Chain A
Amino acid sequence: MMEKEIHTIISKVFSIPESEINDESGPENIESWDSFNGLVLVDELENHFKIKFTISEITDVKTVSDIKRHLKNHNIS
Chain B
Amino acid sequence: MEKSLSEYITEAKKIDDLKFNKKLKVAILSSFTVNGLDESLHVKCSELGIGYRSHIAGYNQYNQELIDPESDLYSFSPDVTFLILDIRKFFGEYFYKLHTISDSEKKSFVKEKVDEIKNLIMNFEKNLNSKLVITNFNIPYYSPNGIIETKMEFGLHEIIEKINEAIRKISKTHSSVYVYDFNLFVSKFGEKNIFDYRQFHMGDIQIALNFIPYFANDLMGFIKPISGKNRKCIVLDLDNTLWGGIVGEEGFDGIELGHTPNGKAFVEFQKELLSLWNQGIILAINSKNNVDDAMKVIEEHPNMILQKKHFANIQINWNDKAVNLKQIAEEINIGVDSMIFFDDDKVNCERIKFEFPEVLTIELTDEPSEFASILKDLNDFNVLQRTNEDRKRGEMYSEQRERKKFERTISNLDDFLKGLEINVKIKKSNEFLIPRISQLTMKTNQFNLTTRRYQEEDIENFTNNPNIAIGCAEVSDKFGDNGITGVYIIKKDERFWMIDTFLLSCRIMGRGVENAILSQILLDAKENGIEEIRAEFIPTQKNKPAENFLLEFGFKKQDNVWIYKLNNEIKLPNHLKVEIE
Interface residues of A (CB under 8 A from B): 12-13, 15, 35-37, 39-41, 43-44, 47, 52-55, 58-59
Contact = CB atoms under 8 A, between A and B. Distances in A.
A49 B10 CA distance: 21
Contact of B10 (A12, A52, A59): A12
Interface string B33-53: 101100000000000000000
Interface in B193-233: 198-199, 201-203, 205, 208-210
B32 to A, nearest CB: 13
Contacts of A41: 6
Given A12-B6, A47-B4, A39 B13 contact: no
Given A12-B6, A15-B10, A58-B198, A36 B35 contact: yes
Interface of B: 4-7, 9-10, 13, 33, 35-36, 198-199, 201-203, 205, 208-210
Contacts of A44: 4, 6
A31 to B, nearest CB: 14
18 contacts: A12-B6, A12-B7, A15-B10, A36-B35, A36-B36, A40-B5, A40-B6, A40-B9, A40-B36, A40-B209, A43-B4, A43-B209, A43-B210, A44-B6, A52-B198, A54-B198, A55-B198, A58-B198
Contacts of A55: 198, 201-202
A53 to B, nearest CB: 8
Contacts of A40: 5-6, 9, 36, 209
Contacts of A54: 198
A53 B4 CA distance: 18
Nearest to B203: A39
B188 to A, nearest CB: 19
Contacts of B202: 39, 55, 58-59
A15 B11 CA distance: 10
A39 B209 contact: yes
A52 B7 CA distance: 21
Q: Which 7 A/B pairs are nearest by Cβ-Cβ distance?
A: A43-B209, A13-B6, A36-B35, A40-B6, A55-B198, A15-B10, A44-B6
B203 A36 contact: yes
A53 B197 CA distance: 12
Contacts of A59: 202
Contacts of A37: 9
Contacts of B10: 12, 15
Nearest to B35: A36
A39 B203 CA distance: 9
Contacts of B199: 39
B210 to A, nearest CB: 6
Nearest to A48: B4
Given A36-B35, A39-B202, A43-B208, 7 more contacts: A15-B13, A36-B36, A40-B9, A40-B36, A43-B4, A52-B198, A55-B198
A37 B203 CA distance: 11
A12 B4 CA distance: 11
A67 to B, nearest CB: 15
A59 B201 CA distance: 11
A33 to B, nearest CB: 12
A39 B205 contact: yes
A26 to B, nearest CB: 17
Q: Which residue, of A36, A37, A41, A53, has the highest number of chain B Cβ atoms within 10 A?
A: A36
A40 B39 CA distance: 13
A39 B33 CA distance: 12
A21 to B, nearest CB: 15
A15 B8 CA distance: 12
A65 B9 CA distance: 25
Nearest to A32: B9
A52 B192 CA distance: 14
Contacts of B203: 35-36, 39
A20 to B, nearest CB: 16
Q: Which residue, of B4, B33, B199, has the highest number of chain A Cβ atoms within 10 A?
A: B4
Nearest to A43: B209
Contact of A43 (B5, B13, B33, B201): B5
A10 to B, nearest CB: 10
Contacts of A53: 198
B512 to A, nearest CB: 59
Contacts of B209: 39-40, 43
Contacts of A15: 10, 13
Contacts of B9: 13, 37, 40
A13 B10 CA distance: 7
A30 B213 CA distance: 25
A57 B133 CA distance: 38
Contacts of B13: 15
B210 A47 contact: yes
A59 B203 CA distance: 11
Contacts of B6: 12-13, 40-41, 43-44
A16 to B, nearest CB: 11
A63 to B, nearest CB: 19
Contacts of B201: 55
A74 B203 CA distance: 24
A63 B35 CA distance: 23
A69 to B, nearest CB: 19
